[in-house]
Amino acid sequence: MKGWMSKLKAISALIVLSLVLSGCGEPFLSALQPKGEGSEMIFDLMILSIVIMLFVFVVVMVIYTFVIIKYRRKKDDDPNFIPKQTEGNHALETLWTVIPIILLIILAVPTIQYTFALADTSPEVNEEGEEEDSLWINVTGAQYWWHFEYEGLEVSTSQELYIPTDRKVYLSMTSQDVIHSFWVPTIAGKMDVNPTGNTNEMTLLAKEEDVYWGKCAELCGPSHSLMDFKVVAVSPGEFEQWVQDMQGVTGEEVPESATAQEGQQLFADNCMTCHAIGADPNKMGPNLTNFGDRTKLAGVEDYNKKNIVEWIQTKGKDMKPGNLMTSAPYELSDEEASKIAEYLMTLSPSDITTENAEDGVYKDSDLSSLFPEEEEETEEENGENTEEQGNEENTEQTNEENNEEQTDDQ
């Protein structure tokens, strides 16, 4: 009896531990709550594989239970009795070979379809059969942050990737140091980024406005677990406004308070070598154009002035061990660091922030104002066609006049 009690306690403890461990993790970092095209495909494959596994498990357990009950040894059975052997039964061997093949085909067909669909970065086609303008974003992974450059829009950000909802966004991805992996589980799968010069591509399509959390999914150093970022999905109209606001940033804007103005000068003297404000090319450190709109410091710490000052003074050594800022040559007093923090918190060029992704307001737009080049090319082509038509008309008129003169001479 004591043996059974010990086993029961061990089994109960194991069940409780399994339930507790199954609840580990953050709810906003779950692939089980898909809100994007890519994540829905992955979720459907997960459900399909689970259904297949449950089917196999149930069938095996039913057969197992049936055999145990029907063919169990009875008290009056001959102890030397040997049941009929089924060795070499071709029907059974064929059956348990064909069934797994069928189940694998059922799983393989949608897996292959989704794999090619997720790898497809060709432009979308509208109802008229014309290719739509593609929003490309160059993504660069670095220890331990992410940089985003909006191709052709002269907009750069770090740590927070703004995208429009209901619109496919194309990512061109690379790394500036080691291998990282870009992962936003709620709206997409994973994609490795490599430092060897090759570029990987993937797409994002968020179906709802929200702030989606992402992580690096490839061990990349001592602060790998702290390499968090956000994808901020806002309505197309709000995204259009955000881009236009960001395009107006030059880095020379003067803040209102005198303290922030002093902080701006200190920042220019000590920090501009590694950081950029505006659409400047990617540097050693994150782009700080809209630093004042962030909700997290370094992707993981609470955003407040105290933590910003601590980050500046400690160079992030304790908050993100191994980051490149630890080797920065500047030396600042607490007062100077406080002034820089004051200035950084004023860097809020747009009214479109993470709050807009959660306010339930949807502003529609076709984003045509963000792609003016094709319209200009069309106008130029129309002008050239008009000019050619004019030249042709002038040529015809000249020919007619020459013919008339020849007739008069005759």
> Which of 339, 387, 324, 348 lies closest to 144 in space, CA to CA?
324
CA distances from 250 to 253, 286, 307, 367 (A): 7, 16, 26, 23
Provide mean pLDDT across the span 165-182: 94
Whether 273 and 330 map to the same domain: the answer is yes
Same domain, 148 and 115: no
Query: Which residue type is seen at 237?
Result: G
**Exposed e or buried b per residue across 376-396, where buried means at least 16 C-beta atoms within 10 angstroms of its C-beta:** eeeeeeeeeeeeeeeeeeeee
Reported as a single tens digit per residue, the pLDDT across 211-270 is 999 999 999 999 999 999 999 999 999 999 999 999 989 888 899 899 999 999 999 999
How many independent structural domains does the chain possess? 2
Beta strands in 26-83 (DSSP E): none
Average pLDDT in the 81-87 region?
Answer: 74
Burial class (CB in 10 A: 0-12, 13-18, 19+), 287: buried
Residue 112 has pLDDT above 80, yes or no: yes
**Residue 344 — φ and ψ, nearest 5°?**
-60, -35
pLDDT value at position 405?
Answer: 44
* Shared-domain flag, residues 304 and 155: yes
Among 311, 340, 358, give the residue marking a domain's end: 358
Are residues 218 and 114 located together in one domain of the fold? no
Q: What's this model's pTM, rounded to 2 decimal places?
A: 0.81
Residue 66 lies in a domain: yes
101 shares its domain with 189? no
The mean pLDDT value for 325-354 works out to: 92
Q: Is 191 helix (H, G, I), strand (E, B) or coil?
A: strand
Q: Average per-residue pLDDT in the chain?
A: 85
pLDDT for 371 beyond 80: yes
Portion of the chain with pLDDT greater than 90, in percent: 58
Establish if 227 belongs to a structural domain. Answer: yes
For residue 3, pLDDT over 70 is answered with no
> C-alpha 259: how far from its chain's center?
37
- Does residue 125 belong to any structural domain of this protein? no
CATH of the domain at 290: 2.60.40.420
Asked if 181 contacts 192 with a C-beta cutoff of 8 angstroms, the reply is yes
CB crowding 62-85: b at 16 or more within 10 Å, else e: eeeeeeeeeeeeeeeeeeeeeeee
- Tell me if residue 38 falls in helix, strand or coil: helix
Q: What is the pLDDT of residue 292?
A: 92
In three-state secondary structure terms, 202 is: strand
What average pLDDT does this structure show over 317-332? 89
Domain around 307: 135-358
* Residue 377 lies inside a defined structural domain of this protein: no
Tell me: do 169 and 59 sit in the same domain. no
Q: Higher confidence at residue 62 or residue 403?
A: 62
97 and 146 assigned to the same domain: no
- What value does the mean pLDDT take over residues 81-93? 77
Give the mean model confidence (pLDDT) for residues 156-168.
94
286 shares its domain with 323? yes
Query: Do residues 230 and 103 both lie within one domain?
Result: no
Residue 388: band (very low, low, confident or very high) from pLDDT cuts 50, 70, 90:
low
pLDDT at position 230 is 94
| Integer angstrom CA distances of residue 385 from 158, 377, 382 | 44, 12, 5
- Render 214-234 in DSSP notation, one character per residue: EEE-S--STTGGG-EEEEEEE
Could you tell me if 61 and 145 lie in one domain? no
Query: Is the confidence at residue 22, as pLDDT, over 90?
Result: no
In a domain, 179, yes or no: yes
Least confident of 77-91, 222-236, 331-345: 77-91
In a domain, 33, yes or no: yes
Q: Who contacts 129 (Cβ-Cβ below 8 Å, separation ≥6)?
A: none
Mark whether 306 and 157 lie in a shared domain. Answer: yes
Same domain, 182 and 109: no
Contacts of 134 (CB under 8 A, 6+ apart): 123, 124, 168, 170
Backbone angles phi, psi at 35, to 5 degrees: -135, 20
- Interhelix angle for 258-270 vs 334-344, to 10°? 100
